[in-house]
Amino acid sequence: MKIRKQNNPLIPMMAITGDLSRGQIEVILQRYLDKGITQFLMYPRDGCDVPYMSERWLTICRDFIETAAAYGMEVWLYDEFNWPSGTCFGKVMEDPSYTAQHVMVENGVCHIEKTRFSNGRNPDRYADILNPDAVDCFIRLTHEVYYKHFAPWFGTVIRGIFTDEPSFLYYNHPAGHSIWNGGYPYFKDAEILYAEKTGRDLFADMAEGSEAFLHDYYDLLGERFRKVYVDRLAGWCKEHGILLTGHLMCEHDIHGAVSSSGDTISALRGFTLPGMDEIPTNTSVDRAEWLTFGTVQAAIRQSEHGGLVETFALGPTDIPPARIEQMIWLEAMFNIDHYLLAVAAVDARGNVKKNGWYNPMCYTNPWFEGFPELGLSAAEAAAWAQKTIAAEVYVRLPIRLTQKYLFDDEKKHLTHYRLTELFRLLTRRQKQWLLLNEDEPAPAGIPVLEITDVDDFSAEALVNSLPARSLRITDENGNLPDNLFLREFTDGSAVILNLEDSSTPRRLFIHEKGTNAEILLNGRGHFLLDPQRTALQVVHPAEFCTELTPLFRLRMDHLNTLR
C-alpha cells in the first residue's frame, strides 16, 4: 500500500467574519498550529464586514496566506461568498445573458423564463453554469483574481480550491424550499444539442414530457454540467498547480442528485479531489448517507489524490469528540482521507444569519485541547482510507429508473427508498458493497445488483443470492448485530466500526474459517484487524476510558435559546 504524503488531515473550514488584522490572524493560526492543525480553508460568509473580493478582502487573504507560509501551514481557497458557487456573490449575473434560465410549460406551450433564486444566500438570480461564457466570467472574477494576487503560493502553500453545491436545479428552490415548480433547466444552444443527440425537437418533447425526453434531456444536462462547469474549473486548477475539490447538491437523494447534477458520479470524477457533504453526523445504519458515501467512493476510485468530506456543521453543537472520531472513521472506510471541519468560525457574529449551521469546530470549543489526539486518530484513519476495498458486490446506480420517475412523486420516492433499503441490508449483512455507475462495466467475477422495477423488488432476495461470507461478526447469540460496519481490504486487513451513538461497550465475536475470537467493542469505537489476524487491536481500551461529568448541560426549553 502506497500512502500519500500529507499533513494532519483535519481541515478547519474557517469562516472569515469581521475585519481581521494581521495580528489577529497570527494569533488564530497559532492556536490551531499548537494543536497540530497544519491546513485550513478560508470560507467567506455572512458576518464578514469586508466587501467580498474587494482590495481589503484580498489583503486579509494575503495575511492568512503569508502567515500560513511562515508557520509551515497549507491553505485551501473557497470560490464563493456563502454558497452556492458560480456567481461571485452575484457579480456574474451583472451581465443579464449569464443569468440562469428555465422553461415553463403551460397548456402545451413552452416559455423561457429567467430563474429566480430567493433563498437569502445570494442575490435572487443564479448564474447559468451551463453557459461556458458565464463560467469563464466566474473564473475571471474569482480564480484569476486570486491567482493574480497570490500566484507565488499556488501549488505550494495553496493546495486547492473548493466549489460548493453548484447545480442547474436552483430555480426549484423558491424561498429555500425544494419545491418543483414545473420548469425544466435550460441553457443557450440546448435546442441544437438536443436535436443533434436525439433528432427531435426539444420544445415539442418538453411539452409532451415523455419518458424518452426525460432520459435524453437529463443525460444532456449531466454531460453539459460536467463539460462546461466541472471540467472548466478542473482544467484551470490543473494549469495553475492546484486541486479542484468541493461537493455537489442533493448527493444523499437519488432523484435530487439526478435533478441537480444529471450524473453525480460522472460529475465528481471530474474533480481532482472528489468531495461529499455529510453535515448532520449520521452514523447509524438507518440514518447514514449510504448513497452519498457510495457516490464519492465511486469517484475516488478514479482519483490520484483521495477524497474530501465537509462534515459536522449540523453537529449537534455538543457532539462529543468520540462521535467525531466515529464519523471520521466511517468516512475513511469509503476512501475519504481529507476531513473538512465545519464550521470553524473566527468569531460568532456570522451565526446571526447562519444560526442553523453552527458546530464550533474551533478554539472556542470546550474540548479544543483534545484536537491533537483527534488529529492522530484522523491521520490513522486517512492511512486506512488509502487501502483498496475488497469489493464483494456492486450496486448499480439506477439513473434511468430515476429519470423515468423524476416527476412522479410516489415512484421517485419509492426509487430512493428501494435503493436505500438495499444499502442498509447489505451493510447489516456485512457485505462489502460499492456503487457502480449506470453504464460502468463491473470487474470480472463480482456480482452486480440492480433495481429494475420499484414495485416488484425485494432487497432480501437480491442479498440472499450472494455467496456466504468467510469473516463474520456476531453477538453472543450468533446473530449479526445492528449498527455495525465491517470493512475488508485487499491486503487482508479489516476494520470493525461501532455505529451506535452510545458510550456502552459491546461484547462481540469474530468468526473466520472455523476460528472464533471474543472482542469488546467500545462505544463509538473501532477494531483494527491485521492481515494475518495475529493481533486484534482494540482502539481506546475500556480500562483507559473514563466517563466524564459534563461541566454544564444546555436544554432547548426556552424560546430565546440559540443552538
DSSP states of 285-304 as a string? TTTS-HHHHHHHHHHHTT-S
Q: What is the pLDDT of residues 197-234, one digit of tens each?
A: 999 999 999 999 999 999 999 999 999 999 999 999 99
Within 13 A of 559's CA, how many CA atoms are on the CB side?
A: 0
Q: Which residues have CB under 8 Å from 256's CB, separation 6+?
A: 169, 178, 249, 250
Q: Is the CB of residue 300 less than 8 Å from the CB of residue 336?
A: yes
Q: Could you give the CA distance from residue 265 to residue 230 in angstroms, rounded to a whole number?
A: 12
Look at 365 and 152; give whichever has higher pLDDT: 152
Would you state the pLDDT for residue 365? 84
Q: Is the CB of residue 359 less than 8 Å from the CB of residue 317?
A: yes
Q: What is the pLDDT of residues 123-136, one digit of tens each?
A: 567 899 999 999 99
Whether the pLDDT of residue 545 is over 60: the answer is no
pLDDT above 90 covers a percentage of the chain that reads 78
Q: Helix or strand or coil: residue 542?
A: helix
**Angle value at C-alpha 147, between 141 and 148, nearest 5 degrees:** 85
Domains of the chain listed by start with CATH number = 10-86+132-165+216-385 (3.20.20.80), 393-464 (no CATH), 471-544 (no CATH)
Look at 123 and 56; give whichever has higher pLDDT: 56
Q: Which residues on neighbouring strands pair with residue 494, listed in sequence order?
A: 488, 529
Whether the pLDDT of residue 348 is over 90: the answer is no
- Give the best-scoring range by mean pLDDT among 4-13, 46-55, 225-234: 225-234
Mean pLDDT of 315-324: 87
Q: Which residues have CB under 8 Å from 475's CB, separation 6+?
A: 481, 506, 507, 508, 509
Whether the pLDDT of residue 186 is over 90: the answer is yes
Read off the pLDDT band of 489 (50, 70, 90): very high
Would you state the pLDDT for residue 265? 98
Pairing relation of β-strands 526-529 and 74-78?
unpaired
Whether the pLDDT of residue 533 is over 70: the answer is yes
Average pLDDT, the chain: 90
Would you state the pLDDT for residue 180? 45
For 328-362, give the DSSP string. HHHHHTTT--EEEES---SSGGGGGT-TTS----S
Q: What is the pLDDT of residues 148-163, one digit of tens each?
A: 999 999 999 999 999 9
Mean pLDDT of 85-112: 92
The pTM of the whole model exceeds 0.75: yes
Would you state the pLDDT for residue 551? 59
Read off the pLDDT band of 556 (50, 70, 90): low
Q: Which residues have CB under 8 Å from 8's CB, separation 6+?
A: 36, 37, 38, 39, 375, 378, 379
Whether the pLDDT of residue 378 is over 70: the answer is yes
Whether the pLDDT of residue 326 is over 90: the answer is yes
Whether the pLDDT of residue 519 is over 80: the answer is yes
Mean pLDDT of 93-122: 81
Look at 433 and 172; give whichever has higher pLDDT: 433
Q: Helix or strand or coil: residue 405?
A: coil
Would you state the pLDDT for residue 118? 47
Would you state the pLDDT for residue 54? 98
Would you state the pLDDT for residue 386? 97
Whether the pLDDT of residue 546 is over 70: the answer is no
For 416-469, give the DSSP string. HHHHHHHHHHHHHTT--EEEE-TTPPPPTT--EE----SSS--HHHHHHTSPPP
Whether the pLDDT of residue 120 is over 50: the answer is no
Q: What is the pLDDT of residues 422-480, one digit of tens each?
A: 999 999 999 999 999 999 998 999 999 999 999 999 999 999 999 999 999 999 999 99
Output phi, psi for 276, to 5 deg.
Answer: -145, 170
Would you state the pLDDT for residue 544? 40
Of the given ranges (206-215, 229-238, 272-281, 554-563), which has the lowest mean pLDDT? 554-563
Mean pLDDT of 78-85: 94
Cell numbers for 203: 420544445
Whether the pLDDT of residue 121 is over 70: the answer is no
Would you state the pLDDT for residue 182? 58
Q: What torsion do the CA atoms of 378, 379, 383, 386 make, to the nearest 10 degrees?
A: 60
Q: What is the pLDDT of residues 398-425, one digit of tens each?
A: 999 999 999 898 999 999 999 999 999 9
Look at 55 and 169; give whichever has higher pLDDT: 55
Read off the pLDDT band of 171 (50, 70, 90): low
pLDDT above 70 covers a percentage of the chain that reads 88
Would you state the pLDDT for residue 136? 98
Cell 463560467 locates to: 135
Mean pLDDT of 331-358: 85
